[in-house]
Chains A and B, each alone.
Chain A
Amino acid sequence: MSLLRVENITKRFGSLVAVGGASLTVEPGQLYAVIGPNGAGKTTFFNLISGFLTPTSGRIIFNEEDVTNLLPAKRVWRGMARTFQITEVFPELSVFENLQIAVETASGFRLRMRLSPSEKQKVCARTEELLEISGLSPKARRLVGELSHGDQRAIEIMMALALNPRLLLLDEPTAGMGDQETHDITQLIRRLHRDQKLAMVLIEHDMRVVLHLAERIMVLAEGCMLAEGTPKEVTSNEAVQSAYLGTAAA
């Protein structure tokens, strides 16, 4: 049973075809990457999966349920969490509070005016655990807005993880980062994949990041699916080499 099936999905804005018939299948625990040059329709594709946009045609099946027209928030409750290309965190709150809000929401406490001591204990423990996984524990009391871009991205990923997703969608997790930060985030993603057995779909334009991380890769160019397969299959594909690697080299 596959976790996510995208079936021949298209999105048109007026006469512009942003995504023209892309399909993919993600198995539980799989790390899947969507790559392509800028303007290839990656982000549109991603927004279609997460529900920011509704497709012109095609279907999205998540966990054997048709979620094509479901609102983003409802997809979240069904186990689909995402991060954004521009880091979206709560800058004037502490690292701890950022994760705490995510944990409380995930535990169904968002409307509660008070928590019992045992509930409080549970929220605290889970928050600490997430801090531990990300290695952010020493910075728990700092305001997120004061931290580096890489740390903020890590916090965002952990907030998404707090929702206990079956599938984590990462939109260009290393965009705009230096080498060290890129390395740290890549390591974090690898750890989550290995230790938490979490299925992920990530969008990247940085080929290096993807080749070492992903189990399967889809290449988009100008809204169309150019190739799909294991990293090896994709890199040896001629169309990919001319369209993507060619332009990247040039």
Chain B
Amino acid sequence: MDRQYQKYVGDFIIWSVLLTMPLWLHLVGGYTPLGTRVLIMALAAMALNFLLGYTGVLSFGHAAYFGLGAYGAGLTIKYLIPNTLAGMGVGLIVGIVAAAIIGLLIIRLRGIYFAMVTIAFGQVFYFIAYRWNNITGGDDGLSGWSRQPIDLGFFKIDILHDEKAFYYFVLFFFAISVAIMAAILRSPFGRTLLAIRENERRARFLGIPIDRHVWMSWLISCTFVSLAGTLYALLNNFADPHDLRWDQSGDFVMMAVLGGMRSFWGPLIGAAMFVVLQDYVSSMTSNWMSFIGLFFVLVVLFCPRGVLGIIRRRQVQ
């Protein structure tokens, strides 16, 4: 009962903070797009953690689907239909299709082999974006387009010029995604994923077809990562080939670990810390890569269970 109560309090605090963020962020030295970035990165990290923390499968190539979402949205808005929601839809579908196909190739692999293959596959899309420069803009990225105000006839919202409106637009998708993931994790299907994480052999002998369930988990995870990618392109009005690269994948894993892989909200905390740190360090010094690298090393050595992991352990003791 106590734990349940604590969970409700935690949820309440997190949602209140997220709902009010644009109102006070400037008071603590932030700015609204930074808050939006936190939300988007948190969505990506939580989606990754669905696979990493709740299915026990290590993917180091999620940036590929993030980037596919971003390019899918950007290319659609730039060349096909100047409509934000259409762009998001296309980006999402591109990411899902790619994840479904690559998923079929890799689900039979496990552990470190799986990680390695996901890293390598991530690079294909990077090279496509990088090389196909008359369409994608190559190394310079895809620019020359911008998100469009939403107009559903009965409902209009100018997310292009009103940063706060765009924040709430992103928060809307964040909330839906998070609610879906939480519902899945509480379902019988979600519990089979936990079972696979805990002990694959036992799960197999309960009659759970492991490969199929891992594939579905991978697909769910990649779907929400692609969604985050589309939102990220909309935020920047730009798609960057680096969004597709392995360093971006590493950042997502870092966010999940930093916050705590075994807690649902951990990756949100991790993403917030990581984004703020990156923003701060890169504005202070040109050697931000060393700082981030050092940060990775320190977290792995001294804080491997993440922030929420530490807090929880304190409580148990």
Is the A/B pair a real complex? yes
CB pair B198–A93 under 8 Å, yes or no, is: yes
Bound complex: CA of A77 vs CA of B209, how far in Å?
Answer: 11
Q: Which of B186-239 contact A (CB under 8 A)?
A: 187-189, 191-192, 194-195, 198-199, 201-202, 204-209, 213
CB pair B208–A100 under 8 Å, yes or no, is: no
* Closest chain B residue, CB of each to CB of A145: B198
Interface string of A34-77 (1 = CB under 8 A from B): 00000000000000001000000000000000000000110011
Total A residues in contact with B, Cβ cutoff 8 Å: 32
Is A81 positioned at the interface, with any CB of B under 8 Å from its CB?
A: yes
Number of interchain pairs (Cβ within 8 Å) = 82
Segment of A18-26, A84-92, A217-225 in the binding face: A84-92
* Closest chain A residue, CB of each to CB of B200: A88
Contacting residue for A72 out of B191, B198, B205, B213, CB 8 A: B205
Most buried by B among A73, A76, A84, A100: A73
Within the complex, the shortest CB–CB distance from B260 to chain A, in Å, comes to 14
Contacting residue for B188 out of A72, A77, A109, A159, CB 8 A: A109
CB pair B192–A113 under 8 Å, yes or no, is: no
Q: Which of A105-146 contact B (CB under 8 A)?
A: 105-106, 109-115
Contacting residue for A73 out of B183, B189, B199, B208, CB 8 A: B208
Interface size range of chain B in the complex: 20 to 34
CB pair B199–A101 under 8 Å, yes or no, is: no
Is B184 positioned at the interface, with any CB of A under 8 Å from its CB?
A: yes
Residues of chain B within 8 A of A7, CB atoms compared? none
CB pair B205–A81 under 8 Å, yes or no, is: yes
Within the complex, the shortest CB–CB distance from A21 to chain B, in Å, comes to 27
CB pair B189–A88 under 8 Å, yes or no, is: no
CB pair B198–A84 under 8 Å, yes or no, is: no
Residues of chain B within 8 A of A90, CB atoms compared? 194-195, 198-199, 202
CB pair B205–A76 under 8 Å, yes or no, is: yes
CB pair B187–A82 under 8 Å, yes or no, is: no
Residues of chain A within 8 A of B183, CB atoms compared? 113-114
A-B contact pairs, 27 of them (CB 8 A): A50-B205, A73-B209, A76-B205, A76-B207, A81-B205, A84-B202, A84-B205, A88-B199, A90-B194, A90-B195, A93-B195, A97-B194, A101-B206, A102-B206, A105-B188, A105-B207, A109-B188, A110-B188, A110-B208, A111-B188, A112-B187, A112-B188, A113-B183, A113-B184, A160-B205, A163-B206, A163-B207
Other than A73-B205, A73-B209, A111-B188, give 5 A-B pairs with Cβ distance below 8 A: A72-B204, A90-B202, A91-B198, A91-B199, A102-B206
